Amino acid sequence: MERLLILGASGSIGTQTLSLLTKCPDDFSLVGFSVGKRTRIISSLIKKYPEIKGICIQDKKKSEYFAYKYPEIKFFYGDDGLLSLIDYCSPTMVENALVGFVGLKPTIYALSKNLKVALANKEALVVGGELVNELLAQGKGKLYPIDSEHSALWKCLKVDDRNVDKMIITASGGAFRKLNRDELKNVKAKDALAHPTWKMGAKITIDCATMVNKSFEIIEAHYLFNYPINKIEVLLHDESHIHSMLRYKNGLYRAEISKPDMRNPIKFALYEGLIPFKTYQADDYHKFGDYHFHDFDIKRYPMVKFARKVIKEKGSFGAVFNAANEEAVYAFLRDEISFLAIEKIISKLMNKHIKISHPSLEELIKIDRETREEVRNMIKKGEIR
Residues near ligand NAD, by CB under 6 A: 8-14, 34-38, 58, 97-100, 102, 120-123, 147, 198, 200-201, 203-204, 262
Q: How many CA atoms lie within 13 A of 363 on its CB side?
A: 12
Residue window 133-152: x/- pattern of binding to Mg ion, with contact defined by CB under 5 A: --------------xxx---
Tell me how far, at minimum, the Cβ of 272 lies from Mg ion, in Å: 20
Residue 32 partner contact from ligand NAD, Mg ion, none using kind-dependent CB cut-offs of 5 to 8 Å: none
Residue 30 partner contact from ligand NAD, Mg ion, none using kind-dependent CB cut-offs of 5 to 8 Å: none
Window 316-335: residues binding Mg ion (CB under 5 A): none
Tell me how far, at minimum, the Cβ of 59 lies from Mg ion, in Å: 29
Residue whose Cβ sits closest to Mg ion: 147
Closer Cβ to ligand NAD, 63 or 384, answer by number: 63
Looking at residue 192, its amino acid is: A
Closer Cβ to ligand NAD, 125 or 232, answer by number: 125
Quote the CA–CA distance of 356 and 373 in Å, as a whole number: 18
Closer Cβ to ligand NAD, 10 or 172, answer by number: 10
Quote the CA–CA distance of 147 and 130 in Å, as a whole number: 19
Tell me how far, at minimum, the Cβ of 139 lies from ligand NAD, in Å: 26
Residue 155 partner contact from Mg ion, ligand NAD, none using kind-dependent CB cut-offs of 5 to 8 Å: none
Give the DSSP per-residue string, 83-140: HHHHHHH--SEEEE---SGGGHHHHHHHHHTT-EEEE--THHHHHHHHHHHHHHHTT-
**Cα-based torsion angle of the residue sequence 127, 131, 135, 141 in order, rounded to the nearest 10 degrees:** -10
Tell me how far, at minimum, the Cβ of 35 lies from ligand NAD, in Å: 5
**Sign of the dihedral through C-alpha 295, 301, 307, 308:** positive
Residue 204 partner contact from Mg ion, ligand NAD, none using kind-dependent CB cut-offs of 5 to 8 Å: ligand NAD
Quote the CA–CA distance of 319 and 91 in Å, as a whole number: 28
Residues 361/101, Cβ–Cβ less than 8 Å: no
Tell me how far, at minimum, the Cβ of 18 lies from ligand NAD, in Å: 11
Number of other residues whose CB lies within 10 A of the CB of residue 40: 9
End-to-end CA gap in the chain: 52
- Quick one: which of 227, 212, 63, 214 has its CA closest to 148? 214
Residue 315 partner contact from ligand NAD, Mg ion, none using kind-dependent CB cut-offs of 5 to 8 Å: none
Give the DSSP letter of residue 308: H
Find residue 32's DSSP bridge partners: 5, 54
Tell me how far, at minimum, the Cβ of 224 lies from ligand NAD, in Å: 13
Tell me how far, at minimum, the Cβ of 106 lies from ligand NAD, in Å: 9
**Sign of the dihedral through C-alpha 272, 226, 137, 162:** positive
Quote the CA–CA distance of 152 and 63 in Å, as a whole number: 38
Residue window 147-186: x/- pattern of binding to Mg ion, with contact defined by CB under 5 A: xxx-------------------------------------
Quote the CA–CA distance of 273 and 267 in Å, as a whole number: 8
Residue 326 partner contact from Mg ion, ligand NAD, none using kind-dependent CB cut-offs of 5 to 8 Å: none
Instruction: Please report whether residue 256 would count as binding Mg ion according to CB under 5 A.
Output: no
Tell me how far, at minimum, the Cβ of 152 lies from ligand NAD, in Å: 12
Closer Cβ to ligand NAD, 147 or 374, answer by number: 147
Residue 215 partner contact from Mg ion, ligand NAD, none using kind-dependent CB cut-offs of 5 to 8 Å: none
Residue 97 partner contact from Mg ion, ligand NAD, none using kind-dependent CB cut-offs of 5 to 8 Å: ligand NAD
Looking at residue 210, its amino acid is: T
Closer Cβ to Mg ion, 243 or 372, answer by number: 243
Contacts to Mg ion by CB under 5 A:
147-149
